[in-house]
Amino acid sequence: GWAAAQRPNIVLYLSDDLGVDFVGCYGNKAIRTPNIDQLATQGVKFQRAFAASPTCSPSRASIYSGMYPSRNGLMGNHTGSKEGVKSLPQYLGALGYRVVLANKVHVKPQSVYPFEMLKATLPPDPNFPRRYRAEGLDDRAVDKFLAEHAKEHPDQPLCLVLADNNPHVLW
């Protein structure tokens, strides 16, 4: 296998309520998503990815565990996976990765999803009050984290999950 310093960094960008039809790199000509489009040219762009569930928590648990909700146990929103399920932080952590989740978690228990957490949520905007969710991902906090990681852990590969809830419906 590769030495830890040779392993590629991984960025997984998850965005609530943002469908494939709303992103330029997947063919939308009207909505401008230049940063996502650029990222798509530099990494892996999924062509056949499907949600394992129509709700948030089960979908996230499936992505992080590689298992359908009926297998990992997290089948309903705000429920938890079965103890003993292995997930992204365990698999990549064993390979020397620092596995960090920025902003929205929405999976449990922490023993199954032991991400290092990065507080990267925008402060509330009084002009647009949200009843059931926080603001979106704070890219300044992410930039600061990345600079610190490069300085303090230059040889450690990073898996960074950017969980952005900004497009989520307001309710």
Using only C-alpha atoms, the chain has a radius of gyration, in whole angstroms, of 17
In 63-157 the beta strands, taken as DSSP E runs, fall at 98-103, 116-118
Q: Which of 14, 23, 56, 159 is catalytic?
A: 56
Closest C-alpha to 104, from 143, 60, 74:
60
- Residue pair 145/153 in contact by the 8 Å Cβ criterion: no
What single-letter DSSP state applies at residue 81? P
Omega of the bond prior to 8 within 30 degrees of 0, cis? no
- Residue pair 166/15 in contact by the 8 Å Cβ criterion: yes
Catalytic residue check, 25 = no
- Residue pair 148/109 in contact by the 8 Å Cβ criterion: no
Residue 159, H or E segment:
strand 158-164
Q: What is the distance between the alpha carbons of residues 25 and 158, in angstroms, rounded to a whole number?
A: 25
> Which residues are known catalytic residues?
56
